[in-house]
Chain A
Amino acid sequence: MGAQIPMEKQTSSPNPRDIREASGEDRALLSARGVEKVYKKGPAEVRSLRGVDLDVRKGELAFIVGPSGSGKSTLLGILGALDRPTSGKVWLEGRDLFDRSDRELAMLRRSKFGFVFQAFNLIPTLTALENVLCPLIPGGTAREAAQDAARLLSTLGLGERMKHKPFELSGGEQQRVALARALIGKPEIVFADEPTGELDSQKGGEIIGMIRAMNRDIGVTVLIVTHAVQHILPGDRVLKLKDGRFAEDAPTPGGAPAGGKDAATKGGA
């Protein structure tokens, strides 16, 4: 899965990670401290997150794992500015993420963040190409943007499927369209919530491979929530969430991962 992602940032070769290291730029891109989220479910309160601390550096690729209901998706939603925490702080490039209006957060999601969801979440009335351009529709989709979108789809192997509607595409193809949509705004961080959840093992592997390629080739930071631990490789950072807190945060030692779910839920370490 060595797909080359055709983004402007790709031109900053050699590897952006190397450039950052060379320039000494090593502070966290995204940080969270004491993040809590409490939901009201009827009369009861559900504490989904119970004080999460996290630092994510630029260009990093990290997996967030944990059992169902451990708060993985909730955390991803908060880090991606889709939802506000009940308490705690999140900083993006040193600035409080939620010290912004809803409009500013939306603009941030459009320009700095990209999202890939488990259920693909494409707009059914739009073609693959239009779905990719969807984040840019409000600002007007210029010809260059359409060319970028077409290039992205071609790179992801969908050159012949651009005019197809989501229902005419397979699950793997739909997820690749979603991936292209996440990349069209040239984001700094891509949040992937169970991107392989509705795919078979092989297609899931292809999608994770593409995500790794974009992390490697264009230096985009990636946070992946997943149950599919077979896709975690040695050296990957794995954050294990349990009962709304991080139980472990460590790189997978060489040869440890891919051993199945058990290995990952133990933090992959």
Chain B
Amino acid sequence: MLRFAFGNLFAKKVRTVLSLILLSMVLAGTIGLISLSSGMRNSVSATFMRLDGIVVISKGSADPIFSRVPSGLAEEIKGIGGVSAAAPEIWGLVAMLDGTSPLTKGWFSAVAYGGFDPAAMKSARGGGIYGKAIEEGRFLREDDDGALVMSRKLAREYRKKVGDRTKVNGKEFEIVGIYHTGSMFLDQSLIITLAKARDLCRMNEDSVSCIYVETADPSESAVKAAAGRIAGLKTSIEAKTKYDWHEEFGAVLGNLDAFFSAQSAYIAVLGVIIVLLTMSMSVMERRREFGILKAVGWTRTDVMKLVLLESAFLGAAAGAIGCATGTMSARMLGGFLPYQPLVTPLLISATFLGGVLLGVCGGVYPAFRAASLNPVEAIRTD
């Protein structure tokens, strides 16, 4: 029966090909959506896992860019037991980079500048996230004034290399180092000295954006305990660990997942309708054939099985094509995104099986119709 069912798909080649195109596009779309979602989740997780320490920001600020904390807080935090480093940072958005707005560069193109105190960062493990990620040149030094460390991604986009000069919000800097973390968020930054950042965003001496804190013991319990103690210093601040960031972004991504799930459900309904229409048309055209099969002794179950097998084959073929085109599209899309969409073997298997399932679901009603035909009437069909 398998061969018979498979062969029937080629009886009307044009219709089968059109259905396959539609259904595989639907399944490729599913792969695209889910790979985007999981790619982003992956990238965000990778970013937070790089944060060894605690970021102290003003309460309610979603990001250091929108935060203000007292400059003297760093000294207070250093006094807390177990704290090994407390480095003030100033963050702002780059309005103009080399005479153009970064926002004109496409998706995810916003660029931030981060002001660091090189002396304070010395106490951080490996010189902090950016210090550890230097690929070319060097990180900031205490005697630097107009020095800038740029991400590899931005260096490529703006065609810069170590030794070149660049203008950030109208102020000129010399690129002394290139870093690369691989994170879509961290690689959108320009690292300059704290004094220069203060100058760029005109922040007074009493404030900084945040304070980066590390503990001598990097274990989760030690980090969380220190964060609790820091948060107790002032009511206007909060101390966020990588675990807190992860949880917050997890909630945001949860909403994104819900959106993608709704899209996938819509896509599944569309797929079922495509199979339903294709198989209904096929059953309508083959009434006489089903009449013959019933006349020569096929039971209702046998006829249902045949139609369901045909629709399952249609779904499986569309699943295979959809997986291939979806994976290729996701890879191509990765070239235009700051992160790589994640296509896993599990996603491919699930999409393929989903295709088969869509095929079977869409084939149920046509199969029932075929099985219910009266053989005498069906055979008389012209």
Mark A residues whose CB is within 8 Å of B. Answer: 74, 77, 80, 82-83, 102-103, 106-111, 113, 115, 117, 121-126, 130, 134-135, 137-138, 181, 185
Contacts and interface: CB of A to CB of B under 8 A. Distances in A.
Interface string B229-268: 0000000000000000000000000000000000000000
Given A82-B375, A83-B374, A137-B1, A121 B299 contact: no
A125 B292 contact: no
A74 B292 CA distance: 16
Interface in B275-309: 288-289, 291-302, 305
A77 B297 contact: no
A134 B293 contact: yes
B297 A106 contact: yes
A42 B8 CA distance: 34
A135 B299 contact: no
B4 A109 contact: no
Nearest to A103: B299
Given A121-B292, A124-B11, A125-B8, A103 B1 contact: no
Contacts of A124: 11, 289
Contact of A138 (B299, B374, B376): B299
Contacts of B288: 121
B296 A109 contact: yes
10 tightest CB-CB pairs across the interface, nearest first?
A110-B297, A138-B302, A135-B296, A106-B299, A109-B297, A83-B376, A77-B376, A121-B292, A135-B297, A82-B375
Contacts of A134: 292-293, 296
Contacts of B298: 106, 110, 135, 137-138
A162 to B, nearest CB: 16
Interface string B77-97: 000000000000000000000
Contacts of B11: 124-125
Contacts, number: 74
Contact of A102 (B1, B292, B300): B300
B379 A121 contact: yes
Contact of B294 (A106, A108, A123): A106
A40 to B, nearest CB: 12
A110 B376 contact: no
B181 to A, nearest CB: 59
Contact of A110 (B8, B291, B296): B296
A125 B305 CA distance: 18
A80 B302 CA distance: 19
Nearest to B374: A83
20 contacts: A80-B295, A82-B294, A83-B374, A83-B375, A102-B299, A102-B300, A103-B301, A107-B297, A107-B299, A109-B295, A113-B297, A117-B379, A121-B288, A123-B293, A125-B8, A134-B296, A135-B298, A137-B1, A137-B298, A138-B297
Contacts of A117: 292, 295, 379
B7 interface: yes
B219 to A, nearest CB: 64
B300 A123 contact: no
